[in-house]
Copies of this chain bind each other. A is one copy, B any other.
Amino acid sequence: MLIVQKFGGSSVADAERIKNVARRVAAAKRAGNSVAVVLSAQGGTTDELIAKALEITPNPSKRELDMLLATGEQQSAALLSMALAAEGVPAASLNAQQAGIMSTSKHGNAHIKRIDTERAETELDRGNVVVVTGFQGVNRCGDITTLGRGGSDTSAVALAAALGADLCEIYTDVDGVYTADPRVVASARKLGVIGADEMLELASLGAKVLHNRSVELAKKYRVNLVVRSSLSDAPGTLVKEETGLESLIVSGVAVDKDIARISLVGLANQPGVAFKLFSLLARARISVDVILQSIGRESTKDITFTVAKDDADETLKIIADNAVTLGYRQVSHDDGVAKLSVVGAGMATNPGVAAEMFEAIYNAGVNINMISTSEIRISVLIDAADADRAQIAVHDRFFPPAG
């Protein structure tokens, strides 16, 4: 079997942990598999390198920042290869250039275009484990790029797709995908399997197990993806394109607190106002989520929507800069909000889910501010202070605690 294993920064943070990873990789290799490993930089390295750059200038060139940051994964890949050799397993580290990871040119947020696997396959054919630097690529000028958040997961899935791997294992500090955040909901259960679409919804809703770019890629190229713990031998959660008839009505409950609510009050009640607003934000690459448009009094209307907390300042600036075009009376914003979502592929054919969710939230004494739905997801906006309580109430409704 050809397996791609991905380990994150905390799994390789020091020499001891690197040796642990080496033992795990060696075990997979000794079991008769071909193994390609994708690594992040050692935990903390990337932040240290960014700090070094900021000592030089507050606005480092993105090309040079990528050149600098890419050294982090090259170091961890070399160190793991040494550890594998010390375990008696021959290994070769490959940086993005050597591994042929061709990307788009956008420094800091490049996308993988294709992977020329010739060198990696040569090493695998020789019986070597290949250790590939995650998070980075090379653009058509030969410049080093980085892939942005969740980049190493994406590298692993893309490599698995390019090599035609039988399995892509994402090792992380949790042992799988849970029905809710186990730190908040004591009765949360680990899922044995989840559909790629549901995983996508959960990922974009704040369940930080996998980055959604990697799930999208796995879905597109039908890569068998497993989320496992690097600290235990527990079986983890398999992400499959189709989970078949056994789809749970609800697969999980997710909470996202990294959002801000912004309201424009007293807009002219005429067509095109919402279009103007959201095209301005789209041009600035700001993603808008839950949107509520209400008919206001006196021939005006209000628009309320959410954005990522990091985008709130820029959003408010764009609104202020375009005050005349947009023609609103007043802007308000609120950081103390949370989005609570339930996700489930079975939901589409089970119309009662929304009602059950709202009832559970009502019984918990929590007020719902806004509602948004998709085929397999229902989200509500609530006060952040109520988020944990509401999450437990909703989870217990769909996954009644045992006993």
Q: State the A residues within 8 Å of B (CB).
A: 15, 18-19, 49, 52-53, 55-57, 59-61, 63-65, 67-68, 70-71, 74-75, 77-79, 81-83, 85-86, 92-93, 95, 97-98, 119, 142-144
Chain B residues with CB under 8 A of A97: 97, 142
- Do B68 and A78 touch across chains, with their CB atoms under 8 A apart? yes
Whether the Cβ atoms of A83 and B56 lie closer than 8 Å is yes
Tell me which of B49, B77, B95, B143 contacts A75 (CB under 8 A): B49
Nearest CB on B from A95, distance (A): 8
Q: Are A81 and B57 in contact (CB under 8 A)?
A: no
**Is B86 a contact of A78 with CB atoms below 8 Å?**
no
Flag if A77 contacts B82 (CB, 8 Å). Answer: no
> Known: A67-B77, A82-B61. Is A56-B93 also a contact (CB below 8 A)?
no
Q: How far, in angstroms, from A68 to B71 measured CA to CA in the complex?
A: 9
Contact B52 A65 (CB under 8 A): no
Contact assessment for A19 and B82 in the assembled complex, using a CB-CB cutoff below 8 Å: no
State the number of copies, please.
2
- Residues of B close to A53: CB separation below 8 A: 78-79, 82
Q: Roughly how many angstroms separate A97 CA and B83 CA in the complex, as a whole number?
A: 25
Given contacts A15-B55, A83-B57, contact A68 B75 (CB under 8 A): yes
Q: B77 and A19: CB pair below 8 A?
A: no
The answer, among B49, B81, B143, for a CB contact under 8 Å with A64, is B81
Cβ-closest chain B residue relative to A69: B78
> In the complex, what distance in Å separates the CA atom of A15 from the CA atom of B57?
9
Which residues on the B side are within 8 Å of A86 (C-beta)?
A: 56-57, 59
Chain B residue at smallest Cβ distance from A83: B56
In the complex the two chains form, is A67's CB within 8 Å of B74's CB?
A: yes
User: 8 closest Cβ contacts across the A-B interface?
Assistant: A71-B71, A15-B55, A68-B78, A57-B86, A67-B78, A60-B82, A64-B78, A64-B81
Residues on B with beta carbons closer than 8 Å to the beta carbon of A98: 142-143
Q: Give the chain B neighbours of A95 by CB distance below 8 A.
A: 67, 144
Report Cα–Cα, A61/B82, bound state, in Å. 6
Tell me, in angstroms, the Cα distance from A85 to B58 when the chains sit together.
Answer: 11
When distances are taken between beta carbons in the complex, the residues of chain B under 8 Å from A61 are 81-82, 85
Given A15-B55, A53-B82, 5 extra CB contacts under 8 A:
A53-B78, A67-B74, A74-B74, A95-B144, A97-B142
CB-defined contacts of A49 to chain B, threshold 8 Å: 75
Tell me whether B79 and A52 are in contact (CB under 8 A). yes
B75 touches A56 (CB 8 A): no
Q: Is the CB of A52 within 8 A of B15?
A: yes
Q: How far is the CA of A251 from the CA of B326 in the complex (A)?
A: 80
Chain B nearest CB, measured from A372 CB (Å) = 42
Docked CA distance A119–B60 (Å): 22
A77: nearest chain-B partner, CB-CB: B67
Question: With contacts A61-B81, A77-B67, A81-B61 known, is A19 near B56, CB below 8 A?
Answer: yes
Known A71-B74, A97-B97, A142-B119; contact A64-B52, beta-carbon cutoff 8 A? no
Query: A65 with B78: in contact, given A18-B56, A142-B98 (CB under 8 Å)?
Result: yes
